[in-house]
């Protein structure tokens, strides 16, 4: 008889990583980095949940009793991420949205992975209790990490920038953690997309979304339409067409926009549709950063059967020239992104 799955028969993130390692889809070193990231995400989830309370206790202003600056949650989250990666001992270089330049990690003893991340994306939502998230990508080092060149800071910095500036197509793994009504870690190591929901009762991420696929189409769009006037004509025509009910059998597309990439992306992955952050007259490349926002999300969407585009090409093919480089992003269901691209030709 077919076995029914018992609620006690859980696949945790740890057992998932061990299984993937045994299958040979990933080495043990990468599994260690991913476990460390998961620990950072648990910590940040807890910080985000208690943000309001911590703010209340810190109401004295900009400095606490020891005279230290009162840290904003995104700075604290950056520290949490950096510390977790250092502690993994497998990371050679880290690049964060919160740091001007990539830094090399002294304590590494193997692996030398290059990790790019946005520790707390959408943090402007925090005070209103709305979803936020962490985004990360992992590369193999493209050059030898010049740990031995520590004496020459200039050389070391160049080496770090070189290592970090790799196209998204070279990513070994990508993921994000959504901090919302539940905490969900979504991960790809290049063999499909897997979602793990945090179970606070056992303190573990539990596999809840095996082999996620984005619907091929979906009539939801997520753009900041406040920027409409600054968009190119093709894009404005596209937006108008989504609202043209008669074109879509009487019901136009639905608008949804949280203003939190991880939340907007997660919904798009599960329900289908399109998320877009285009360039406009003020910001020709939009707002989102290639390395730690657009590339990791594009790897995930491709692994889920969708498309990540700059409107004129594949995001994963863009070769970064700068660490904090921005690119326009259109991401989601295959048919929806292709329909958008047809307006920008």
Query: Could you list the residues that contact Mg ion (CB under 5 A)?
Result: 118, 121
Rank residues 257 and 339 by Cβ distance to ligand AHM and give the closer one.
257
The H or E element containing residue 114 is strand 113-121
Q: Of 122, 279, 296, 311, which lies in the binding site for ligand AHM, with binding defined by CB under 6 A?
A: 122
**Token pair 């950096």: residue:** 82
Return the residues of window 279-298 that contact ligand AHM according to CB under 6 A: 287
Please name the residue ranges forming H helices in the chain.
Answer: 13-23, 28-49, 51-57, 73-88, 153-164, 233-243, 261-271, 295-303, 334-344
Rank residues 20 and 118 by Cβ distance to Mg ion and give the closer one.
118
CA distance 196 to 187: 8
Edge-to-edge strand ranges of the sheet holding 254-255: 254-255, 220-222, 274-277, 329-332, 307-309
Q: Of 158, 224, 241, 285, which lies in the binding site for ligand AHM, with binding defined by CB under 6 A?
A: 224
Looking at 76-84, 117-125, 158-166, 197-205, which segment touches ligand AHM (CB under 6 A)? Answer: 117-125
Rank residues 259 and 313 by Cβ distance to ligand AHM and give the closer one.
259
**DSSP secondary structure string for all residues of 181-241:** SSEEEEEESSS-EEEEEEETTTTEEEEEETT----S--SEEE--GGGGGGS-HHHHHHHHH
Q: Which does 287 bind (CB under 5 to 8 A by kind): ligand AHM, Mg ion, none?
A: ligand AHM
Q: Of 222, 170, 245, which Cα lies nearest the Cα of 336?
A: 222
Least Å distance between CB 81 and ligand AHM? 14
Q: Of 261, 295, 301, 318, which lies in the binding site for ligand AHM, with binding defined by CB under 6 A?
A: 261
Q: Of 259, 281, 312, 313, which lies in the binding site for ligand AHM, with binding defined by CB under 6 A?
A: 259
Q: Which does 259 bind (CB under 5 to 8 A by kind): Mg ion, ligand AHM, none?
A: ligand AHM
Interaction of residue 83 with ligand AHM, rule CB under 6 A: no
Q: Which parts of this chain interact with ligand AHM (CB under 6 A)?
A: 97, 118, 121-123, 224, 259-261, 264, 287
């Amino acid at each position: 008889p077919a076995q029914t799955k018992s609620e006690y028969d859980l696949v945790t993130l740890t057992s998932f990583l061990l299984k993937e390692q045994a299958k040979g889809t990933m080495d043990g070193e990468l599994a260690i980095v991913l476990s460390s990231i998961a620990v950072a995400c648990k910590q940040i989830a807890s910080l985000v949940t208690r943000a309001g309370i911590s703010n209340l206790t810190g109401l004295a202003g900009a400095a606490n009793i020891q005279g230290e600056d009162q840290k904003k949650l995104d700075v604290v989250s950056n520290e949490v991420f950096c510390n977790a990666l250092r502690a993994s001992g497998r990371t050679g270089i880290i690049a964060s949205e919160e740091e001007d330049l990539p830094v090399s990690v002294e304590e590494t003893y193997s692996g030398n992975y290059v990790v790019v991340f946005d520790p707390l994306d959408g943090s402007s939502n925090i005070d209103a209790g709305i979803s936020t998230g962490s985004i990360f990508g992992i590369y193999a080092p493209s050059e030898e990490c010049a740990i031995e060149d520590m004496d020459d800071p200039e050389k070391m910095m160049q080496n770090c920038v070189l290592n970090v500036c790799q196209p998204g197509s070279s990513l070994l793994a990508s993921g994000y953690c959504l901090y919302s009504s539940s905490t969900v870690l979504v991960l790809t190591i290049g063999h499909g997309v897997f979602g793990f929901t945090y179970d606070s009762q056992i303190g573990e991420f539990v596999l809840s979304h095996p082999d996620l696929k984005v619907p091929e189409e979906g009539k939801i769009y997520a753009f900041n339409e406040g920027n409409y006037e600054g968009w190119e004509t093709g894009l404005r025509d596209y937006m108008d067409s989504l609202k043209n009910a008669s074109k879509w059998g009487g019901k136009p597309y639905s608008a949804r926009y949280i203003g939190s990439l991880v939340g907007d992306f997660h919904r798009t992955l599960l329900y289908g549709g399109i998320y877009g952050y285009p360039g406009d007259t003020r910001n020709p490349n939009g707002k989102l950063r290639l390395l730690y926002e657009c590339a990791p999300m594009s790897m995930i969407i491709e692994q889920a059967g969708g498309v990540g585009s700059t409107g004129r090409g594949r995001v994963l093919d863009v070769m970064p020239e700068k660490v904090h480089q921005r690119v326009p992003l259109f991401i989601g269901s295959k048919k929806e992104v292709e329909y958008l691209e047809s307006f920008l030709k």
